[in-house]
Amino acid sequence: MKKAIAFILLFTVMLCAKDYSKHSETISVMHTLVKKYGFERDYLEKLFSNVKVQKSALHAFLPPKKRPKRRDTRTKAQKEKAKKYYDKYGPWERYAKRKLSTYRVKNGVAFLKKYKSTFEKVEAQYGVPKEYIAAIIGIESAYGKNVGKYPVFDTLSTLAFEKNRRNKFFKKELIKFIHLSKTEKFNPKNVYGSYAGAIGLGQFMPSNYEAYGVDFNGDGRITLQKQQDAIASIANYFKKNGWRKGEPVATRVKYEGMRFTKYKTGYTTTYHRKDLKGITPYVPWNYHDKVRLIKLKKKKYDELWYGAKNFFVITRYNHSAYYAMSVHQLAMLITEKMKEE
């Protein structure tokens, strides 16, 4: 009986594994790695000969019509609870409940205290406030507690070679990742990350790892699973994307009515404040550059904010106004909590 179970388990693993070494696209990737980065072809062929296909990661990048339908296994009570939740809250409220939890605030304060010396040095060098760096790490990986459970090499190989809407992007990321394994001296089979192949406390894609990663602890490697390197790398990312030291990020504003439709909203559209009639900040705001109008859709009304240049910089990390606002608000909540202690 035990032998039969062992055989079934082995057979299941074999079914999940795939030999990509003879795949035409893989051959092209190996050619680049050999010619550009000096890899041995035998090493690469062995690496790609046993890839565990990450089906759940692939599912996220298939066109909606081609995604296999997942059976709804919720009970009637669970479905009713979910409906009540969606009836009670608007899009921003649902988003904020996930991103701005008491857990993230409390642990953000603890994380700042634990790595106080690193944060102070990084803030002095890069000009990015420590609370914003901590907020990114809190939202991305729960301060390092959840850096991802997907094997990055297998995930990127799956997404590079199995047909999906972003094959070209993931092929480039796979090449970058394998190159990084050489420069930073790690086994590509031993690194785990997100379903998209993002790595470390700040969840950097391999191309960003290479472009913005910093060896801040001075051990000769850029290791984004280590707190010091991750903190400095996020600050470096912000600085290189235009962060302005000492300038604000956002402030809430007033307008007439409950729903805002007077001007176009979103982080890509900018205005001179004098041209925005009928809109004023709740508190004095000493910022004179162009602003963005950021609308947070709540159940009963729209909450409206001015977003400064630094707000736009946060959207370079994740192209979502809601994401950038959650980073800003979490940073503010962490700051307030720090003052109380």
The reply to whether 140 belongs to the active site is: yes
Q: How far is the C-alpha of 296 from the C-alpha of 303, rounded, in Å?
A: 5
Question: What is the pLDDT at residue 217?
Answer: 96
Dihedral sign (CA 63, 65, 71, 77): positive
Q: How far is the C-alpha of 137 from the C-alpha of 84, rounded, in Å?
A: 31
For residues 233 and 212, is the Cβ–Cβ distance under 8 A?
A: yes
pTM: 0.90
Q: Which of 131, 140, 162, 173 is catalytic?
A: 140
Around Cβ 240, how many Cβ atoms within 10 Å?
13
Helix (H, G, I), strand (E, B) or coil at 186: coil
What does the pLDDT profile of the chain (341 residues) look like in tens digits? 444 444 333 334 434 789 999 999 999 999 999 999 999 999 999 999 999 999 999 999 987 776 667 777 788 787 777 788 777 889 999 999 999 999 999 999 999 999 999 999 999 999 999 999 999 999 999 999 999 999 999 999 999 999 998 999 999 999 999 999 999 999 999 999 999 999 999 999 999 998 999 999 999 999 999 999 999 999 999 999 999 999 999 999 999 999 999 999 999 999 999 999 999 999 999 999 999 999 999 999 999 999 999 999 999 999 999 999 999 999 999 999 998 87
Q: What angle do CA 311, 314, 315 make, to 5 degrees?
A: 95
Q: How far is the C-alpha of 250 from the C-alpha of 289, rounded, in Å?
A: 12
Q: What angle do CA 47, 230, 267 make, to 5 degrees?
A: 105
Question: What is the pLDDT at residue 15?
Answer: 43
For residues 92 and 296, is the Cβ–Cβ distance under 8 A?
A: yes
**Segment (H or E) for 270:** strand 266-271
